């Protein structure tokens, strides 16, 4: 789905809209309802090329106050920018396999 999505067509259409018209960059979102992990991919046009940003929202369990207050889980959002389509698809494949460590690794080391 993400590979065949008309990213360039949507971005070209976006550039043709008037400033006062409501518009958003094309995006795809994925949610694992069991693990609560979420991944959104947003496209933008930079120097005539499609680039992607990733928005990864996940539950993180921490022990506040040096572990005295028990564990607390909260959602943490990471966003990363300027990735190409191939690396974005690799990240999405890792997410769909529930390989969240690979998702984190890709977000930290890959740039497109």
Q: Is residue 63 part of a domain?
A: yes
Q: Is residue 95 part of a domain?
A: yes
Q: Is residue 2 part of a domain?
A: no
What is the model's pTM?
0.82
Angle, CA 11 vertex, CA 10 and CA 12 arms, to 5°: 90
Can you say whether residue 11 is alpha, beta or left, with left for phi > 0 and alpha for psi between -120 and 50 degrees? Answer: alpha
Instruction: Give residue 79's domain range.
Output: 7-15+24-109
Q: Is residue 88 part of a domain?
A: yes
> Each residue of 45-96: pLDDT tens digit?
999 899 999 999 999 998 877 767 788 899 999 999 999 999 999 999 999 9
Q: How far apart are CA 100 and CA 94, in angstroms?
A: 7
Q: Is residue 59 part of a domain?
A: yes
**CB-based contact 2:54 (threshold 8 Å):** no
Q: Is residue 1 part of a domain?
A: no
Q: Is residue 51 part of a domain?
A: yes
Question: Residue 97 phi/psi, 5° resolution?
Answer: -85, 0
Distance from first CA to last CA of the chain, Å, rounded? 20
Q: How many domains does the chain have?
A: 1
> Each residue of 9-57: pLDDT tens digit?
999 988 888 877 767 899 999 999 999 999 999 999 999 899 999 999 9
């Amino acid at each position: 789905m993400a590979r065949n999505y008309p990213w360039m067509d949507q971005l070209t259409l976006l550039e043709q809209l008037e400033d006062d018209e409501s518009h958003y960059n094309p995006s795809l979102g994925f949610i694992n309802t069991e693990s609560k992990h979420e991944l959104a991919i947003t496209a933008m046009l930079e120097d005539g090329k499609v680039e992607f940003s990733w928005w990864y929202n996940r539950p993180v369990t921490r022990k506040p106050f040096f572990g005295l207050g028990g564990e607390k889980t909260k959602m943490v959002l990471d966003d990363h920018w300027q990735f190409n389509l191939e690396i974005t698809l690799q990240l999405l494949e890792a997410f769909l396999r529930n390989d969240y460590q690979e998702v984190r690794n890709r977000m930290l080391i890959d740039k497109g």
